[in-house]
Amino acid sequence: IGISGGWLGEIFGVEGDFGRAPGFFQVFDRDSPDSLVIESGVNTLTGSVVIALPRRMAEYGLRPYFVGGAGLVSVHILGRYGALPVARTLPAMNIGGGVTGFLTNRVGLNWDIRRFSSVRSEGETLGNSFGDEELSFWRATMAVAIRY
């Protein structure tokens, strides 16, 4: 679930994006005694640059675009009996692409896929672990697009 907004000119644009994924690290049955993680989630807040097919070339069809930017990823995990508590906000990058097609002059549909990756400085340890800590994931979305 999320929301994004942006401005797109003939080719270049900018975008702000917020996404929320509750239950990100959980199995389906959180009440199962075998489930170690009972609550978790990932939130993303990014700003991006958009490069799209020129409007005059897309005409009334789908308009593909590439997007890339940076922002923050907030992670929280709560384990059974208070084990493994994690609450971190990490710098992150995203890159991806998608297409937008309008059904009317104002309303359309948008399909998008992006890869989010946390960014950290070399040698930085964020917790009690035995290896590199990194969070990266793909996100696919379908949304209603509203044009002003």
Q: 61-100: per-residue pLDDT in tens?
A: 899 999 999 999 999 888 877 777 788 899 999 999 999 9
- Ramachandran bin of 36, using left for φ above 0, alpha for ψ from -120 to 50, beta for the remaining angles: alpha
Using the 8-state DSSP alphabet, how is residue 94 labeled?
A: E
Cβ–Cβ under 8 Å, residues 74 and 43: yes
Mean pLDDT of 4-18: 95
Q: Judge whether 96 and 120 are in contact, CB under 8 Å.
A: no
pTM across the whole model: 0.82
* pLDDT 10s digits, 92-145: 999 999 999 999 989 999 999 999 999 875 555 555 555 566 789 999 999 999
Cβ-based burial of 84 (10 A; exposed 0-12, middle 13-18, buried ≥19): middle
